[in-house]
Copies of this chain bind each other. A is one copy, B any other.
Amino acid sequence: MHPLFDYVHRYTGTLLSEDEFALLLSHFTYKKIRKKQFILQEGEVCKHFAFILKGAMRQFYVDDSGMEHVVNLSIENWWAGDQESYVLVTPSKYYIEAWEESEVLLITYQNKLKLGKDFPAFNELLQRLDERNTIASQKRITSMISMTAEQRYKNFLESYPYFSERFPNHIIASFIGVTKDTLSRIRKKAATR
């Protein structure tokens, strides 16, 4: 079964017919992305959101001192893109890089709007996704405002159990907003309990 077919079914309970699914798929462009290749770079407009069929992506921001800060990580059945640049057609502040050899389905904002209008199941999918995104963002903001580094790491493992197998320590440390040394210390402490 195609991953996108499964995905729509899982989020909305809808089993699309063969024709419906072909029509849905025709709004996307398939692309292979080599490891270390960028699907978005700072200053570019984010013209597509990417549904990840295979692989892993990291979205990061480079501050004035040249330091990289990981703001998002995504793997199979997740989306990668910069919503602000995509919706408002403004230059992005972010880079999005394939962390592994990846395969994606790209969709333009116009096609996303079109699918949302013409396709009740896709519209419902977008709503469920937006809800989940809002929940995840709220959790992350709360954890950053109010939790210790140790609690943040625990939270991360619970919320994203697969990430620690796919991304190295320094990426995870940046994602949860702690230094690499702090993360090593927390992991050692956890291992000796």
Contact = CB atoms under 8 A, between A and B. Distances in A.
Interface of A: 61, 63, 67, 69-72, 82-84, 87-88, 93, 116, 123, 126-127, 130-131, 133-135, 137-142, 144-147, 174, 177
Q: How many copies does the complex hold?
A: 2
A142 B84 CA distance: 12
Nearest to A139: B84
Contacts of A130: 127, 130-131, 133-134
A142 B69 contact: yes
Given A72-B138, A83-B134, A134-B134, 18 more contacts: A61-B145, A61-B146, A67-B146, A69-B145, A71-B138, A71-B145, A84-B135, A84-B138, A87-B135, A93-B142, A126-B127, A130-B131, A133-B137, A137-B137, A144-B144, A144-B145, A144-B177, A145-B174
